[in-house]
Amino acid sequence: MLETLKVTLDANTNITPEIKENLMELITTFANNEAFKDVDLSNLGERLKTLNIRRESKYLVRMPARYNAFTNEILINEEMIKDSDVKHWLMHTLLGVITANENRYGFTTTDNKMIALCEGYTEILTNYLVGDVPDNYFTDEIIMTNLISKVVGADVLFEAYFHNDSEKVLTAMKEAEGK
């Protein structure tokens, strides 16, 4: 699968060779991690065909980088990314690409009602894969996600995140409420 993803990424003319190399290193880190061995990467392969990385205004992207699933773009705030851990932010956005489904990723809903939980979980996974950063933008979201994980179970969040199933989380929360 990794070789197929590399060929797909190499064929994408929207991304520079240096960024392709960095993305492939992170894809390999993810794919070779035992915790993610059962995650289907076929959607990633489809997304890599047209993925674009674009500089964006600091007024539109208020963090170093973010993934827009609707346009399939990684949006970079050049001013902020200079002082940030680029590897960390690229992994954070790559997780969005891996889990993207139509115009959302992870377990976000189309109306973004679960965006805080999704960002918290994405950041937890990012920290696990490439390490934490000193100035984390998602501290509150991480705390909230850890608390929700204690209530619904880490396996529920994992399954829901990688299968774009926000209902699974909501159902588990409702079930936990009755206990």
Are 65 and 77 in contact by the 8 Å Cβ rule? The answer is yes
Residue 179 has pLDDT above 70, yes or no: no
Cβ neighbours for 156, distance < 8 A, ≥ 6 positions apart: 168, 169, 172
Cβ neighbours for 68, distance < 8 A, ≥ 6 positions apart: 74, 75
What is the average pLDDT across 93-101?
Answer: 93
For the whole model, what pTM was predicted? 0.91
What's the Cα-to-Cα distance from 72 to each of 66, 77, 103, 143, rounded to whole Å?
11, 16, 8, 28
pLDDT digits (tens, 9 = 90+) for 34-50: 999 999 999 999 999 99
